[in-house]
């Protein structure tokens, strides 16, 4: 056991080293760019790169911190578990599953499995919260509910989506605790309620969240599982040490009375993040259990992942405005903990950082190539700088920073999840989703109406259709085309490596079309 812990710590040490080096290289190259140019355009470009490097440095530092803190969480949780005492009696528990025009066969199978949970049957009530607009689905779920003594609640108006459905039920619920599952989650450990309720002996505890994972499927879906796994393996434990763990929307239990005092789930697209913040701001506590009790259906299609990521970043961008409003407002329930401020700011900016900032980095890279600033390639062709000169050293830092920024997630995926191939897929996914997330952020800022799904996906009859792929990646394909063209121009003006730099970016961004085509 000690060897395993030491190995885990060593892996985290390597990760911290990688991100620290990446930060140093990026800022070092930025400073060099400022010094190396005398033109106004060059200075503007260099300053932009420095700002982006500083932003990246902040997130790299935070990521390193999370990797280290997640290692400490096991011992922290172990101390809590040693003090756990059984619940006195069996509190009344509600198990609720919100659904909206979902696969009825999957919903019913998973619901029947939930009803096998280890808990006295007279102390647990099961609710199907149905917002379905399809009459056939509604009729089938009503039939299922009557047959299995499930309490069926239907809304004709899907106001405020999942948050609205939960509030419609929870604000009048008589049960002391509320357990929430998504329709596609299959219970794999029936001790879910019995294991989690003892933590609520802490009277300040608002909710308990468990790890969310997906069932094994294809190479793509297993990579998506890792994609989400980084949050639950590293970010959640680190935040939980600060009492700022995120309620993830399902596979968790909430104390109903505290939910009511908060005013229910804030009715936003990502109601779970907003609820978590309100719980923290009200002075309640939470706990994260790094163990999965249910497995969600694998995400086998890129279009489904795209919709999910659109919703996540739409909600997180909304949350930033909500968060700032709370800080500037007159409410007495402002967040007081410095860690709460840091954790929620980084959460709100997280997907924007790995999408919007990535796009801006690409645009600034184009400006560097054509602004007259020297880059490493110019040094190694005839007439370039001498090997070992200061310019060579600093420009080498730039190349290393770029390469390491691409390879860091690949290396970390290999370290923790044992797959280099999935690490490269993770790299492609971040580029493939960049504009989708950026679009979501823009909608959140400028659109007055809440969007239910990201616009643009239209399904065709054929399973693999290039028209479908191109139609749903117009922006990315056009952006890639521009990068390819600029790369060729750079090569023609004897900036070989600058041209390859841009062509490389073009290849990464065209991956959106490939993902839509290959993993539709």
Q: CA distances (Å), 437 to each of 244, 357, 414, 422, in order?
A: 24, 11, 25, 21
DSSP state of 465: -
Per-residue pLDDT tens listing for the chain (520 residues)? 444 456 777 777 777 788 788 778 777 777 777 777 777 777 787 788 788 888 887 887 777 777 778 888 989 999 999 999 888 899 999 999 999 999 999 999 999 999 999 999 999 999 999 999 999 999 999 999 999 999 999 998 888 889 999 999 999 999 999 999 999 999 999 999 999 999 999 999 999 999 999 999 999 999 999 989 989 998 999 999 989 999 999 999 999 999 999 999 998 989 999 999 999 989 999 999 999 999 999 999 999 999 999 999 999 999 988 888 887 776 666 556 677 888 888 888 888 888 988 898 898 888 878 875 544 443 333 334 444 455 555 556 666 777 777 788 888 888 888 899 999 999 999 999 999 999 999 989 887 565 544 444 454 444 568 888 888 899 999 999 999 999 999 889 877 777 888 999 999 999 999 999 999 8
Q: CA distances (Å), 236 to each of 214, 262, 476, in order?
A: 17, 22, 32
Q: Are 97 and 111 in contact (CB under 8 A)?
A: yes
Give CA–CA dist 166/169, Å, rounded: 5
Q: pTM of the entire structure?
A: 0.87
pLDDT of residue 127: 98
pLDDT of residue 512: 96
Give CA–CA dist 327/322, Å, rounded: 9
pLDDT of residue 140: 97
pLDDT of residue 396: 63
Longest pairwise C-alpha distance within the chain: 84
pLDDT of residue 31: 77
Which one of 2.60.40.1220, 3.90.550.10, 3.40.50.300, 1.10.10.10 gives the CATH number of domain 84-300? Answer: 3.90.550.10
| Residue 122 burial by Cβ neighbours in a 10 Å radius (0-12, 13-18, 19+) | exposed
Give CA–CA dist 252/290, Å, rounded: 12
Give CA–CA dist 505/479, Å, rounded: 10
């Amino acid at each position: 056991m000690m060897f395993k812990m030491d190995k885990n710590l060593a892996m985290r040490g390597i990760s911290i080293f990688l991100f620290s080096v990446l930060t140093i290289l990026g800022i070092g190259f930025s400073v060099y760019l400022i010094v190396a140019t005398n033109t106004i355009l060059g200075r503007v470009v260099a300053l932009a790169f420095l700002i982006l490097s500083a932003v990246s440095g902040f997130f790299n530092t935070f990521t390193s911190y999370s990797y280290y803190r997640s290692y400490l969480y096991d011992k922290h949780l172990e101390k809590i578990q040693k003090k756990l005492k059984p619940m006195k009696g069996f509190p009344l528990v509600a198990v609720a599953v919100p659904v909206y025009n979902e696969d009825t066969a999957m919903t019913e199978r998973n619901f029947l499995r939930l009803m096998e949970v280890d808990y006295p049957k007279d102390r647990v009530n099961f609710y199907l919260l149905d917002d379905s607009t399809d009459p056939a689905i509604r009729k089938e779920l009503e039939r299922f509910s009557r047959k299995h003594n499930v309490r069926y609640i239907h809304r004709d108006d899907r106001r405020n989506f999942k948050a609205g459905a939960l509030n419609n039920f929870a604000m009048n619920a008589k049960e002391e605790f509320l357990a929430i599952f998504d329709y596609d989650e299959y219970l794999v450990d029936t001790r879910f309620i019995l294991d989690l309720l003892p933590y609520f002996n802490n009277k300040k505890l608002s909710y308990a969240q468990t790890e969310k994972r997906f069932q094994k499927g294809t190479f793509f879906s297993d990579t998506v599982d890792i994609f989400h796994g980084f949050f639950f393996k590293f970010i959640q434990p680190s935040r939980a040490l600060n009492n700022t763990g995120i309620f993830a929307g399902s596979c968790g239990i909430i104390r109903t009375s505290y939910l009511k005092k908060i005013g229910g789930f804030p009715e936003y697209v990502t109601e779970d993040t907003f609820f978590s913040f309100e719980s923290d701001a009200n002075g309640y506590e939470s706990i994260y259990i790094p163990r999965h009790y249910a497995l969600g259906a694998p995400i086998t299609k890129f279009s489904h992942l795209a919709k999910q990521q659109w919703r996540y970043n739409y909600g997180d961008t909304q949350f930033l405005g909500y968060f700032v409003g709370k800080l500037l407002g007159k409410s007495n329930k402002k967040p007081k903990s410095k860690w709460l401020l840091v954790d929620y700011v980084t959460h709100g900016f997280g997907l924007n950082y790995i999408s919007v900032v990535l796009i801006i980095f690409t645009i600034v890279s184009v400006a560097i190539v054509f602004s007259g600033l020297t880059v490493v390639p110019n040094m190694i062709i005839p007439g370039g700088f001498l090997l070992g000169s200061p310019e060579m050293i600093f420009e080498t830092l730039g190349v290393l920073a770029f390469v390491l920024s691409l390879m860091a997630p690949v290396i970390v995926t290999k370290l923790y999840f044992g797959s280099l191939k999935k690490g490269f897929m993770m790299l492609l996914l971040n580029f493939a989703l960049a504009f989708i997330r950026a679009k979501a952020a823009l909608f959140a800022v400028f659109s007055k109406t809440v969007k239910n799904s990201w616009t643009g996906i239209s399904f065709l009859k054929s399973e693999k259709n290039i028209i479908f792929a191109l139609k749903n990646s117009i922006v990315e394909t056009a952006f890639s085309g521009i990068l390819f063209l600029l790369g060729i121009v750079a090569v023609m003006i004897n900036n070989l490596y600058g041209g390859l730099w841009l062509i490389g970016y073009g290849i990464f961004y065209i991956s959106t079309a490939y993902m839509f085509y290959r993993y539709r």
